[in-house]
Structures are given as structure tokens and as C-alpha cells.
Chain A
């Protein structure tokens, strides 16, 4: 694999009420910020990928409006995932591995303050057995919290939701020498992997997250020195930290969510990308040598992505 690093990260000053932000308010400044931070021009970006969700504001094609604000001219090599933008970063990392491009721009954005999050999250569950009941994300998390409590973990069995948030984030990835040129201390991605597990929560052991463990093993969280200074985990609910620490193999020395994490700001579809950005920022500023970022999707941590970042590449 080519050495690829996070070389720039920007996030919005998130809002907890609807300020009428459009994509031009959310995305444009961040794209310009990461370009300025690296000194790269738009034409030097090899690939662009974004993550967003149409249901957050209730109209189709949310990514079309965003594309209209980022200066996609002349036409750009670009794609979009209807997932958290952490998966857009994964797609961009894969694309850079081809060897013909060295840089990628990744962004994600979401407005969590304008819609009915219980109703929206329920549409993401089994459409025959779960969605008609409209259980919502908080109750789903509650089932997992209660399962952990019953299994003897010290967690609150009645989780509270993360703050409804409007916000966005942008990242630039760069390979090898380009990364070293544009950033004094690149955050090298030494491993990145994601795995999904079965959907039905009643068929899973909710005290575990098999897919998080698989992704962490494949991303190499425990390899090398194994020491992780900081971890940024996509914990929308407090009890998830206990579970994820165990599945990712993080010990008590690892500081989790020094940024405040999703419990302080949860701009859906950017929250996972922000974890990667924050984990990279600890390396950029010299406060860490090795960090881990995690993103998740689906009820009770169904789908998990793990990214290991290091101040030193593998070459």
C-alpha cells in the first residue's frame, strides 16, 4: 500500500440550532480552509468524495447543492457516498492507492436540527419489522446500554441522545512526498478498514461489536508498539465507549475523545470524518505519535470503520 496521510482538517463551528445554513455556509469555507492549509490549488486535487444523507433535510440529492459550492470547475473526478463521510475518506484512500493521483479532498455535512431524528433514524432500520414501529436511535442505543449494564458493565442504561447539530468537516489526503511537502507532520494512515455485521439487533450479542473488532484488527490497532495515545471514537452514546475500548483493544492509557467527541457535537454524516480529522490533528500538533479514529453507522454499532494514524509512515 502507498503511504497516505491526512494533511489538513477543518470543521465548522457547529450549531445546535438552525441558523439557516446552506451548503455554501457549511461546506465552502471548509474546503477553502483545507486548500489554504496545504497550499494546494483545486486543480491539484486528484479525487473528491463526500458523504451526506437526503433525509436530514427531506429533499433528494443533497450532494448536488454542495457540489455547486466547492468550485468543481473545470469538471472534477468525484463521487459521493450516502454514508458518513468517513466512508468517503475510505473511498478516497482506496483511489489514491492506484498510484496515478496523489491527493484527495473529502467532505461531509449534515443538519441535525431541522428534522425528526427519531423518525429519520427509524427509516434506516429493517423496513418490514422495525421501521413501522418507529423505535428511533435513542431506544436502539438503550437496548445496547441495558444489555451492557445487565452484563456487569458500569454504564448508564438510559442513554440520552447526542446534541442535534448542524455542521460539516473537510479533509485533504495526500500520498508520500506530496504529503511531506504540504504538511510538516503528516498523520500517516497506517491502517484503515471497515466491516458490517448482521442488521437484526435481536440476533446479535449486544454486549459485543464483532465488526468493530474485525475492523480494528485489520487496521492494525494492536500491531507495532500497540500504544495508542489518543482515540477519537464515534460514540453518540456514552455506553459505547466501554464497548468500543474493548473491541478496539484500547487500554486505560489511551485518552478517548479529547475533542469532546460526538457527545459535544454530532453533525450527522460528518461526525465520523471529524473523528479522523481530530485524531490526525493530535499528530499534526505534535501531541501524539499514534492515534486511532473510529466511525460507525446503523443500529447498535452495526457498521464500523477504524483508521490508525501515525506520525511515521510505513516506508
Chain B
């Protein structure tokens, strides 16, 4: 039942995709200063904000970067700048991403619009790196579908312009911009660790595996790379039975993507021979009948359908044995 040594499984090199994306994107309320700037962009105009010492900041920040004074409260504090300006620095992009403003090679540039004292970051569509130079003159070009976003400027193009601002249908009826929606998707590829791999190899054959701390002797399931109490590597593997006692549980009525259909029971099961309860799904029993102290056993997918996945273990179901007195497992809750 016990295997010695770090018999880490090397059976999988697979890297598992993980996507972090809030559905629909973050909704950002802009406040009056950012909102006024974005409303201007929607109209095809670039506005800067004046600081008490007379500088014009672009993009307009809500607070003076040096003194922290609030900016932009009065109409007099706003100044239209550009649409042409000067590149003060730049960086070339050979391979644009899907979420970049341009789908062909371009330069990120700091552009100081005429009439402004600072520069804003945007894309310059120069066609080639050789056509880029600090000090070059550029002008804003505009998207037809403008929503009140920094991306309403399609990019900056070489020369004085100005570019035509395509008419935005119904613009006069639009409210000033106060909210922007910002989708942001991050993709990851994660490789499972050696401990996880060995655990999953067990699950593939219907075997629950844990680790034992060499110092305190406690058996952890799911297995741990290190003992949480002692901070030492866990090197000993233990095969555990798939029976145990339900130490506590919740009846979940809140639906969520990726979670089981509601109502579902999430519970802590102390497997026989383990020293810590494992979070599992409890099923094959009406939710009203689930009890603390109930004896349960794992329900597996049929052998022929098993994959290298935790999903082989469907859930835990009552065994019908008598309940275990609370005092017998209280310290494991």
C-alpha cells in the first residue's frame, strides 16, 4: 500500500490551457475627466487639461502628476490640441498582436500633440521602421465606429493631416462617455507538477493517492509536495481506500459556469486512513437527507470510459452504513 521514494510520474508532458477572461469585459466608470477626454475622442477631437502652472497634459490625467492637485474641473481648464503632433520617442513592433490597434507592423510612439506639453502613447502607421524618426510629424486618424475609447484614434499617420473624421451617426443624441467596457483575455499554458501527475495516474485506474509527511506522519489527500505544518518535502506515497466519512458540507444553490447544476452538495470527506478531509461532490442522495457523519464511497465512471482526469471520480454517495459519531472526526473538520 505504501511506496517509498519520490516516484514522480513522468507520463505527461501535456500543457493544459487556462484562460482568464471576465465575460463581457470589465466595465469601468471613467469619472468626469477621463470621460470628457473620451467623449472628445468620440467626436474626433483631442483635448488636453491645463495644470495650475499652465502646462497642458495629454492624455489628461485627473490629478497633477507632481502636485496631486485635481485637474479639469472648469471648462477653462480644457484645451483642444493636435490633431497633428511630434513623435518624442518610439518603439517598433514587427509582429502585431490581435489586440493591437493595427494588424501590420507599426511603431508605438509617444506623440506630443501641438499645443500640449506632454505626450500620449499610441500607434504610428508609418509602413516601415525606416520611416520612423524621433521628431517626425504625425496626425491622428479616426475610426468610423467610435465608442469613447483610446482606440477611437485608429492610429497616427505620418504628416500634418488633418485626417477626415468620419461622421458618427446619431452622435448628437449620445450621452457623454461615463463608462468604458474593456475586454481583456489572458491565455496560459500550464504544466501539471509531478505530484499532480502521480495523483492523476492513480485516478486513471480508480485509485486515490495521498502523500505522507516524513516528519509528522500525517497523510494528505489530495497529495502535497510539502507538509503544510512542517514545511518539508513529502516523499512517501500512500494508496487510500475510496471510502470515508462526510465531516461537513454545503448545499449550493448559486449557479456558476463550470460548477455542477444546482442544487449540488459540496462536502468534506475524510477518507479512511487520511488525516485531512477532501473537498468533493456528494450525490445519489436527496439534499435534504445529507448528514454530517454520513459514511460515503466514491462513484467512478465505468472502467472503459476512464481518462487521465479527476473526472473519473464522479462524486461520493452514501454507503448505507451507520453514521459515525461526531466526536470521532471532530478534529478533522
Q: Does a CB–CB distance below 8 Å link A and B in the complex? A: yes
Interface residues of A (CB under 8 A from B): 18-25, 28-29, 31-32, 42, 55, 57-59, 68-73, 114-116, 118-120, 123, 127-135, 138-147, 150, 158, 198-203, 206
Determine if B182 and A127 form an interchain contact, defined as CB atoms under 8 angstroms apart: yes
- Closest approach, in angstroms, between the C-beta of B70 and any C-beta of chain A? 15
Do A142 and B65 have beta carbons less than 8 Å apart? Answer: no
Q: Give B contacts to A, CB under 8 Å.
A: 15, 18, 20, 26, 28, 30, 34, 38, 57-59, 61, 65-66, 88-93, 97, 99-101, 108-110, 112, 118-123, 134, 149-151, 180, 182, 184-197, 224-234
14 contacts between A and B (CB under 8 A): A20-B190, A20-B196, A25-B193, A31-B231, A69-B231, A114-B188, A116-B187, A118-B97, A128-B28, A132-B182, A134-B97, A143-B89, A146-B134, A202-B119
Contact status B190-A57, CB under 8 Å: yes
A196 to chain B, nearest CB (A): 11
Contact of B150 among A128, A139, A150 (CB under 8 A): A128
CB distance from B61 to the nearest CB of A (A): 6
Contact A68 B99 (CB under 8 A): no
Asked if A68 and B191 make an inter-chain contact with CB atoms under 8 angstroms apart, the answer reads no
CB atoms of B61 and A200 under 8 A apart: yes
Shortest C-beta distance, B125 to chain A (Å), equals: 14
Does B231 contact A32, Cβ atoms closer than 8 Å? yes
State A265–B186 Cα separation when bound (angstroms): 23
Residues on B with beta carbons closer than 8 Å to the beta carbon of A123: 184, 186
Cα-based distance from A227 to B164 in the complex (angstroms): 60
Whole-angstrom CA separation of A145 from B110 in the bound complex = 13
Whether A202 lies near B120 (C-beta < 8 A) is: yes
Within the complex, the shortest CB–CB distance from B111 to chain A, in Å, comes to 8
Q: Is the CB of B233 within 8 A of A29?
A: yes
**A129-B226 in contact (CB<8A):** no
Docked Cα-Cα span, A191 to B324, in Å, equals: 61
Could you list 19 further interchain pairs (A-B, Cβ under 8 angstroms) beyond the known A24-B195, A70-B226, A143-B90? A18-B189, A20-B192, A23-B225, A28-B231, A28-B232, A58-B188, A71-B227, A71-B231, A73-B229, A119-B184, A128-B30, A131-B182, A133-B122, A141-B91, A150-B134, A198-B66, A201-B121, A202-B118, A203-B119
**Residue in chain B with minimal CB distance to A54:** B20
- Shortest CB–CB separation between residue B52 and chain A, in angstroms? 15
Interface centre among A73, A130, A132 (most CB of B within 10 A): A132
For the complex, what is the distance from the CA of A21 to the CA of B225, rounded to whole Å?
10
Closest partner residue, chain A, to B90 (CB atom): A146
A197 to B26, CA, bound (A): 27
Tell whether, in the assembled complex, residue B15 and residue A18 are in contact, meaning their CB atoms are under 8 Å apart. yes
Contact B150 A68 (CB under 8 A): no
Contacts A127-B28, A139-B91: A120 and B186 contacting too (C-beta < 8 A)? yes
Query: What residues of A have a CB within 8 angstroms of the CB of B65 in the complex?
Result: 198-200, 203
Q: Report B-chain residues with C-beta under 8 Å of the C-beta of A198.
A: 65-66
For the complex formed, measure the closest distance between the CB of A176 and the CB atoms of chain B, giving whole angstroms. 26
Residues of A within 8 A of B232 (CB): 28, 32, 71
Please name all residues of chain B whose beta carbon is closer than 8 Å to the beta carbon of A57 when the two chains form the complex.
Answer: 18, 188, 190
Chain A residues lying within 8 Å of B88, measured Cβ to Cβ, are 147, 202
When the two chains form their complex, are residues B186 and A20 in contact, meaning their CB atoms are under 8 A apart? Answer: no
A143 touches which of B91, B118, B191 (Cβ 8 Å): B91
Give the complex CA separation of A2 and B101 in angstroms.
Answer: 53
Pick the most buried of B100, B120, B226: most chain A CB atoms within 10 A of its CB: B226
A25 CB contacts on chain B under 8 angstroms: 193-194, 225
